[in-house]
């Protein structure tokens, strides 16, 4: 089937999109729900079955949480509209501008897998709003997430 764009031109376009991403990429940290770790001390052969042995010594159980996070390179775009006062004639408000991040597939998969607690960059904390949108450039995919700053 005929195409308006040759394969050589497609290779140039996708290379340009990759170069654009590499030029403007910045690092973010994605935090997932912490992983619960349970450890028990003083467990030995005599009290391994608590309640069923002669010593009846309960093991010391300690719960802790491990941070689960990942660092990824993304393109960040801030919208220009920021919070303002009530617009007197319209009885409406202008709300905080959102932030968009364009991510590659590894970051998208990390954000989508399990519960994402928040995303941090520029000394700010953001929550993901909605699902991602796919931007498809002749086979080169980027995923766009909208973020809202936490207060």
CA distance 44 to 125: 45
In the prediction, which pLDDT does 138 show? 84
In the prediction, which pLDDT does 56 show? 58
In the prediction, which pLDDT does 119 show? 96
Do the bridges between strand 116-121 and strand 124-137 make them parallel or antiparallel, or are there none, so unpaired?
antiparallel
Written as six digits, the tokens of 67 are: 């941070």
In the prediction, which pLDDT does 94 show? 45
CA distance 147 to 121: 11
3-state secondary structure of 108: helix
CA distance 84 to 92: 10
User: Measured in whole angstroms, how far is the alpha carbon of residue 119 from the centre of its chain?
Assistant: 5
Mean pLDDT by 10 residues, the chain (151 residues): 79 84 94 87 58 59 88 91 55 62 96 95 93 88 92 74
CA distance 96 to 14: 34
Sorted by sequence, the CB contacts under 8 Å of residue 65 that are 6+ apart come out as 34, 35, 36, 37
């Amino acid at each position: 089937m005929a195409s308006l764009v040759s394969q050589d031109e497609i290779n140039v376009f996708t290379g340009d999109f990759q170069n654009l991403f590499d030029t403007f990429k910045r690092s973010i940290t994605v935090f997932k729900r912490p992983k619960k770790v349970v450890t028990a001390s003083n467990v030995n052969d005599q009290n391994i079955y608590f309640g069923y042995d002669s010593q009846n010594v309960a093991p010391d159980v300690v719960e802790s949480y491990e941070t689960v996070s990942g660092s990824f390179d993304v393109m960040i775009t801030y919208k220009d509209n920021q919070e303002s006062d009530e617009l007197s004639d319209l009885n409406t408000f202008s709300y905080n501008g959102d932030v968009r991040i364009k991510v590659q597939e590894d970051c998208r998969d990390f954000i989508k897998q399990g519960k994402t607690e928040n995303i941090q960059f520029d000394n700010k904390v953001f929550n993901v709003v909605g699902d991602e949108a796919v931007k498809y450039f002749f086979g080169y995919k980027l995923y766009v997430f909208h973020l809202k700053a936490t207060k």
